[in-house]
A and B are shown apart, each in its own frame.
Chain A
Amino acid sequence: EVQLLESGGGLVQPGGSLRLSCTASGFIFNSFAMNWVRQAPGKGLEWVSGISASGNRTYYADVVKGRFTISRDNSRQTLYIQMNSLRAEDTALYYCAKGWEVYGMDVWGQGTTVTVSS
């Protein structure tokens, strides 16, 4: 079964850092791009960052560029996002999603919650 399992969420103070992980199973991880997508409480989906299958190309939404860093370890079938200088507006449920057919995302995890508050 194809699965994505996020972890690493929690409560962090403004200005703090957090690293999220997403462990994949059931598919050839190093063959697919991966993405992070977030959803603030009661709001819509927001693409955060993407990374190519090999990890040599990374992409970021303007609102996180310079603060977040996406990476992957294909040997561990794990996707990461390092989040620094966190702000209250980064509070959201963070999903990892498997890339599909150019820009799509066909498999989603259940998400991990990040709360930025003092």
Chain B
Amino acid sequence: SYEVTQSPSVSVSPGQTARITCSGDALPNQYAYWYQQKPGQAPVLIIYKDSQRPSGIPERFSGSTSGTTVTLTISAVLAEDEADYYCQSADRGGTYWVFGGGTKLTVL
């Protein structure tokens, strides 16, 4: 098996920048993906292949990578960004997918 690790929670005020990190040994070799999930809703893909944004995702969402850590950055946070955020990747062999435990973003 394989695991990626996220911090459980992040809190920011509206207009500030939120950074959510995800760590895993295989991240230097495998792409990371980020999902947003609001209560009662299915997850939504917001970043793919480390830093690409699907169409329709606001530019304030960005992704970056450095070694074994990937980071989701949300600039100028809005109240509507309050949600759970999950990173996802795969093991070195690409045969075992994994989600991080999720980070709850609270907008104060």
Q: Using a CB–CB distance below 8 Å, which chain A residues touch chain B?
A: 35, 37, 44-47, 50, 59, 61-62, 95, 100-106, 108-111
- Contact between B49 and A45 (Cβ–Cβ < 8 Å)? no
- Check B43 for interface membership: any CB of A closer than 8 A: yes
A101 to B49 Cα, complex, angstroms: 7
Q: A44-B84, A100-B48, A103-B90 are in contact. Are A59 and B97 (CB under 8 A)?
A: yes
- Check B98 for interface membership: any CB of A closer than 8 A: yes
A interface, over-half SS: strand
- Check B94 for interface membership: any CB of A closer than 8 A: yes
A103 to B30 Cα, complex, angstroms: 9
A104 to B48 Cα, complex, angstroms: 6
- Contact between B43 and A108 (Cβ–Cβ < 8 Å)? yes
- Check B102 for interface membership: any CB of A closer than 8 A: yes
- Contact between B96 and A104 (Cβ–Cβ < 8 Å)? no
Q: A46-B99, A102-B31, A103-B88 are in contact. Are A110 and B42 (CB under 8 A)?
A: yes
A59 to B95 Cα, complex, angstroms: 6
Chain A residues closer than 8 Å to B43, beta-carbon distance: 37, 45, 95, 105, 108
Chain B residues closer than 8 Å to A46, beta-carbon distance: 99
Count of chain B residues with a beta carbon within 8 Å of a chain A beta carbon: 28
- Check B61 for interface membership: any CB of A closer than 8 A: no
Contact partner, A111, options B31, B42, B95, Cβ 8 Å: B42
A111 to B41 Cα, complex, angstroms: 10
- Check B101 for interface membership: any CB of A closer than 8 A: yes
- Check B12 for interface membership: any CB of A closer than 8 A: no
Shortest beta-carbon distance from B72 to chain A in Å: 14
A61 to B37 Cα, complex, angstroms: 22
Chain B residues closer than 8 Å to A109, beta-carbon distance: 42
A45 to B35 Cα, complex, angstroms: 10
Question: What mask results when residues 20 to 62 of chain B are scored 1 for a CB within 8 Å of chain A, else 0?
Answer: 0000000000110101010000111100110010100000000
Chain B residues closer than 8 Å to A108, beta-carbon distance: 42-44
Chain A residues closer than 8 Å to B94, beta-carbon distance: 102-103
